[in-house]
Structures are given as structure tokens and as C-alpha cells.
Structure 1
């Protein structure tokens, strides 16, 4: 019997002592870490190899972890954990808004890091590994001939959810969504007009709602609106109910 394949983890950290500690911790827990110190090297690694997850330091010598995350997402859809000494709520929200899956503040314990890596990998979605986010949304329309794909759910709104392919179409166009954005819009689409509180949306979108922040929902809703506006700029798809939460619009222009 072949030994199990160890998940490969890309670590981008410019402080050698921290990188060495991360590598040791992950190797001890059965992962296959690969460390580099610059954004350019990380891009080259990701273009040439496949990784299950990336741990990105926010402060790098040639770029920021946030900018690097944007570049990585154009190459492959790999989950991202940010690692930084900045612990403000705004930094956390920015990191999550641009597509990060988790955020760890220095100093941290090796046990916490490995636990968060495992948690992110557990809740990683089922899009084809190694594909860019936008490409994954379109290419996943191809299904195995041995398995018939279920049709998209019927909808009275221009938002159509295809749970088999983990796709959502808006006015007929597939939206390139992160896993959190997909879950939020899926929740809205099932109940147009219903007002969801931030706590309710965190329950639907996060596997660990007790660890999420209400502003995290605000950040993902903002990102969702921006992506939907690229399809129909004149439409307000998500309605804000001050002091209450959000809902999907019922009337469409």
C-alpha cells in the first residue's frame, strides 16, 4: 500500500527563524511545507507546483501579503492564511475581503498554526484544485459522463444557484466567488426579501461562526456587491437594513 500523500503547504515568510519554526511544526504534523522569502519566488513556485494551502506573511520585502494573495488567485485557487504582526480589526477585514481564509497574528503558537491549517483544509470547497478562481467557476461546468449533473435551481430572481457545480449565475453570467461569498449568496437566493442578521449569515457562511466577526460579513457583502455590479451596474442586488442585516432584493430593474 502506498503511503498517504502529505498536503503540500507553501510558506512565504522573510524572517528565517519564523519560517524554520513553521516548517518544523508542519512537518511534525504530517504536512510537506515549502518555504520561500519573497513574493516573486512564491509566484514562481505556485506556477510550477501544486499546493494545498499557502501561508503568507503580510510584510514581505518585495510586496505585501495582500497583493500577493491577489496575484496567487489569478494563477490557482489555493486557500490562504495570512500571518502578520498587525492585529487590528481593519487589517483582518481587509485580508478576508480580498479572499483570505484565515488570519493569524504574531506571536503565535505552532499548535495554533497547525490547527488553523487543518481547519482551513477541512472547509476548503470542492472546486478543481490548481485552477484560477474565475476559471474554476466556468470549467467546472464539465461533468463526468458517468454522473449526470443536476440542473440549476429554479429562481424567480436573476440569481440562479447550481449546487452540483458550486456555481451561481447572475443574469446568466457565472460569478467568480470565494467559498464564503458563494455561501452567503446561496443563502440570500433561497429566501429573496428575507432579512438575515449578521449572526445568521455567519452561521450559514462560516464553519466556525463563533470565531468570526460581524464586520467579516460586511466585508464579504461589499465584495459580493462589487462582483454583481460588474454584471449589472444599475441594479442594487443586496439591500442593507440598518440595525437588522441584509436581504436579497425582491424587485429588479
Structure 2
């Protein structure tokens, strides 16, 4: 389920948005900049942030810049500040949408869906050595041979790609793939990474990087 960080200090509006968004998404609701930063710092794993601009302890613009500098995240603004200068500031920060208050709830839900759909999970990965299809969970080699590796292996590959360039710890990978209730060992993750590198050949060695003491990363940069 896609994860949304909702930052809104208006209790009535926040309760309405939180209740409605939770029907389709996993939502964390913060009522201040400091609370939002605390939530974000624990996981950095949100797909979208919905930010009010006028917060009791700072600006949504300030928060957006801070989030963006820490990890890749989509964000949109909800605000009563609808003047041209504020809108430009929001878009210059990289906002997907800038929605002035008051707004129609259905319009917001449609815009949220459009933003997330436009950045939907990776369905296919084309590499020099093969093509990975995450819908069919298959790998087609250059020879035309089709392989069906363990589904869990490809889910971890997809996770690394979607979270790139972040480095994911083994614990993060385990929680995302198996959930917090199950507890495979770190060795399980390491073995899967070995299999993925073998499966992807030179591309695996080039793109799946080990970061000592932290975890694994999908990198699109050439190794030096």
C-alpha cells in the first residue's frame, strides 16, 4: 500500500483528510513541522507528502526542502496562500501540485491518485544482459531464454530500484518484503543479493552495490 505523510494543523480538515485517505493509502498525520520531521526521520519511506504551508512552528516550504534533501519523495501543497509568488515558490521546490484552500475533497483525491499513478512502481527493467518483467516475475535473457526466479528475489530487486538512490538496510528490506511479524535473518537477504547479481550478470555487479555497515543500493552510476 502506498504511504502518505499528511501535514495539516487544522484539526477538522486533518481528521477529514486522514479518514478519507486511509481508505486507499497508509497515512501518517502530523500537525506540525517538528512532528512531521519526527515521523519522516523514523522511516523516510513515504511515497507522497501532502503539506500545509502555514504550520504553527514553521513553513511547509521549509519542510518540503528538508524532506527533499534527505530522501526522494513526491509532495504537494494544500494552502490558503494562493498568490502567484507562493505558487511559484512551491513549484520551484518541486511540488507535483499546488492546491489552494478551500478545495473540493474529490478533486484532492483525484489529484493524489494522478500523482501516484504517474510515479507507479517499476513494471519492467531493461538491462544490457536481460529484461526483467515485474508483472510476470520473469527474466528474459538476450538469448531469448526466459527464467522464473523466486518471486521474493524479484520483489527485493524492485524495491531497491524504486527506492534508489537510497541505501536500504537489511532490516528495512525485511520489513518491506516480509513485514514486521516475520523475521528472516540478515543472511537470507545477503543470499538473495548474491542470487540477483548472478541472475543479472555484469549488470548485477554494476548496479547492486553493497554499502558496508548499512545495506544495499541500486545505483545507476558507473562504478569507479
Q: TM-score, normalised by structure 2?
A: 0.55
Alignment-derived partner of residue 11 in structure 2: 16
- What is the 5 A alignment of 1:64-143? 64-124=59-119, 128-129=162-163
Deviation at 1:55, TM superposition (A): 0.3
Asked if structure 1 preserves the Cα contact closer than 8 Å seen for 2:165 and 2:219, the reply is no
Could you say what the CA RMSD is over the residues aligned between the two structures, in angstroms? 3.2
**Structure 1: how far apart are the matches of 2:77 and 2:219?**
25
C-alpha contact (below 8 Å) 1:8/1:52 kept by paired residues: yes
Aligned residues: 144
Contact 1:13 1:60 in 2 (8 A): yes
Displacement of 1:82 in angstroms is: 0.6
Q: State yes or no: 1:57 paired with 2:52.
A: yes
- Give the Å deviation of 1:124: 2.1
- 2: CA distance between counterparts of 1:80 and 1:168? 26
Deviation at 1:131, TM superposition (A): 5.2
What's the offset of the Cα at 1:167?
6.7
Aligned CA distance change for structure 1 residues 147 and 96 (closer, same or farther; 3 Å): farther
Take 2:16 and 2:76, find their aligned partners in 1: how far apart are those partners?
16
2:39 equivalent to 1:45: yes
Give the Cα–Cα distance (whole angstroms) in 2 for the partners of residues 168 and 130 of structure 1: 11
SS at match of 1:77: coil
From the two aligned structures, give the one with the greater strand fraction: 2
Contact 1:11–1:34 at 8 Å: present in 2 too?
yes
Q: Deviations over 1:115-170 (max 9, x none)?
A: 111111112276632856xx89xxxxxxx633475xxxxxxxxxxxxxxx99799x
Gaps of 5+ in 2: 123-160, 169-195, 204-217
